[in-house]
Amino acid sequence: MTLRSINPATNELVAKYPEATDGEVDRTLDAAERAAAAWKRTQIPARTELMHSAASTLRGQVEDMARLMVVEMGKPIVQARAEVEKCAWVCDYYAEHAAEFLASELVDTDASRSYVAYRPLGAVLAVMPWNFPFWQVLRFAAPAMMAGNSGVLKHASNVTGCALAIERLFRESGFPPDLFRVLPISSTRVGNVIRDPRIKAVTLTGSEPAGSAVAEAAGAAIKKSVLELGGSDPYVILEDAELRSAVETCVTSRLINSGQSCIAAKRFVVVEAVLEEFQERFVETLRSKRVGDPMDEHTDVGPLARVDLRDELSDQVERSIVSGARVLEGGRPREGPGAYYEPTVLVDVGPDTPAYSEELFGPVAAIIRARDETDAIRIANDSSFGLGAAVFTQDRARGEQIARDELEAGACFVNAFVKSDPRLPFGGVKMSGYGRELAIFGIREFVNIKTVYVQ
């Protein structure tokens, strides 16, 4: 099989990559296992120096890496540059904090000395998606490698060029050549890799079906797994929200990465007292955003990553309309070449509407009416997902209480759009997955939390 990269803005073939043979997979896993065995004996100061080097390499290659993302999955160029910079940030963050996060912790017991140590597991498999082709990988790799593990990447087939660029990044930064390796294989072969005894754990960012398959394979092999899956993030707009800034924030969140983000705002749950004004302002703001060539510095919304993804989104919108939703703006694929879909606003979205319950992975906003605050919180939580959520109110204390105690999600923001940050844990509840990435929690996911007791 050949892996193909197609420019979603033009439908032109970018590159073909041969899929790894069984023998190549075997040799890659052997190399990753050997690299992990040597790397775990490398002291943290040496790891730190190399991870800072990776950050510097990223910053020195921003333009090349950003343009590769644009070509392979259509990300607007300004956002692509920001993604590379964020990857450098996460490398520096773990370089600076790994020693603190991994330091042994003394525990007072009846032993002469007892403590908790954090030791690496070995080779960790990462199954990663195309939507943030550098960030999703680096937010796994930086903590996992600083903890003393090696990394094996099975990336989405349409961003194989990005995967190979990340492999080169670590080699050019001075890391051992086999400490981070790419497996260019199809998704049907992932289960066999997970079951291989040389792989000690697995992390996946992706869809709910993909997460279920990976969890099943990891569970059968009794291996640790971390899953960051889909989201249908609700943004609750209360009666006292400052609508001008709230709408700008909501539109920005809905259109990030052309709407292709697990933590992009998906459902806007608005109390009816301000519903009409919110809808008017939302449509007006949405119309001000520019759709076009992702290489253009002024483009806000580029194409979706693949034509089949655009068609799937179009089907969800059409089924939502049949189920009673009404289109205020957009509502169809854009004419011409490329996988473009018009920025869209759906209203009158009820519980039987696909836009109410399904994840819309593209520039489509579902606005849902709520009677009052209590009803809005109920609707926000009426979802199988629980990745991110936000609430907008001028009563910050009340907003904080809603975010902390009432919204069912792994990340809840007040008067701001949900985003990931190396300093804060990231992950979801319910069907959005389990485990955490980033912060101290992320580096401790793939370690042996070991008790040491000395009499």
Residue of 91, 162, 250, 262 with catalytic role: 262
Alpha helices for 323-455 (secondary structure H): 354-357, 373-381, 396-401, 439-443
Indicate if 87 belongs to the active site. Answer: no
Nearest to 200 by CA among 171, 223, 218: 223
On the 0-12 / 13-18 / 19+ scale of CB atoms within 10 A, 5 is buried
Distance CA 425, CA 423 (A): 7
Residue 233 dihedral angles phi and psi, to the nearest 5°: -60, 125
CA distance 58 to 285: 34
Question: How much is the CA Rg of the chain, to the nearest whole Å?
Answer: 22
Give the pair of three-digit tokens for residue 92.
């520096």
Residue whose structure tokens are 């969800």: 316
CA distance 156 to 69: 13
Has 312 been annotated as catalytic? no
DSSP letters spanning 98-133:
HHHHH--EE--SSSSEEEEEEEE-SEEEEE--SSST
Q: Give CA 299 to chain center in angstroms.
A: 22
User: Which residues, in sequence order, are CB contacts of 205 under 8 Å at separation 6+?
Assistant: 127, 128, 129, 136, 227, 228, 229, 262
Among 228, 342, 358, 408, which one carries the catalytic annotation?
Answer: 228
User: Catalytic residues, which ones?
Assistant: 228, 262
